[in-house]
Structure 1
Amino acid sequence: MPLLFIGIDPNTGDHESPTVWVDQEKKELVFQGFKPDAELEAECAAFEVPGHAKGIPDHEAVIRIPARMVHMIREACDAVEHTGDVH
């Protein structure tokens, strides 16, 4: 899987590393972030979206990304949209 590293939380310490990548082959954003506390995870699981069942499927996860990383997420969005473009 050819991952394109976009950035890591600038406030990263030795044991924390929220990170943003782009999977160039699948044209997907890839995030590493903090696990939510039980209250947030339960709130997300209870959220109803038309056409979708409640809950978080076993193959999915809720993660937290610091707002200070928004610029990296924008960069990743731009990169994934332009993957494969000829420049």
Structure 2
Amino acid sequence: MALRFVGKDPESGDHGSPAVWVDEETRDLVIQGWIADAQTQSSCVDEVARPDHEAVVRVPKRLIPLLREAIDVAELD
């Protein structure tokens, strides 16, 4: 698996989160973010069941430009 690093939160300083990568083989997005608080997780589970192998993460709005870039990369043939 080869991951292409797209970028990290510009306000995270020396800390590495949140961040986004693109899997160059599958074109999946790989996102590192904050573990959502209990209230957020509960609200999400009200809408969609969360299996044990999944997590609810929160990504700040300032990462949206990097997510757009990652989506553009993922859509390349």
Deviation digits for residues 30-68 of structure 1, max 9, x if unmatched? Answer: 000001110000000011xxxxxx420111111011100
TM-score (norm 1): 0.82
Matched, 1:79 2:73: yes
2 CA distance for matches of 1:13 and 1:57?
33
Task: Give the structure 1 partner of residue 28 of structure 2.
Answer: 28
Task: Give the structure 2 partner of residue 4 of structure 1.
Answer: 4
The runs of 5 or more residues in structure 2 that have no matched partner are none
1 CA distance for matches of 2:16 and 2:45?
25
Helix, strand or coil: the match of 1:69?
A: helix
Count of residue correspondences: 77
Shift >2 Å, 4+ stretches: 13-16
The runs of 5 or more residues in structure 1 that have no matched partner are 48-53
Structure whose residues are more often strand by fraction: 2
Is the contact made by 2:4 and 2:22 (CA closer than 8 Å) also made in structure 1?
yes
Output the aligned Cα RMSD. 1.3
Matched, 1:17 2:21: no
Compare CA radii of gyration and give the structure with the larger one.
Answer: 1
TM-score (norm 2): 0.92
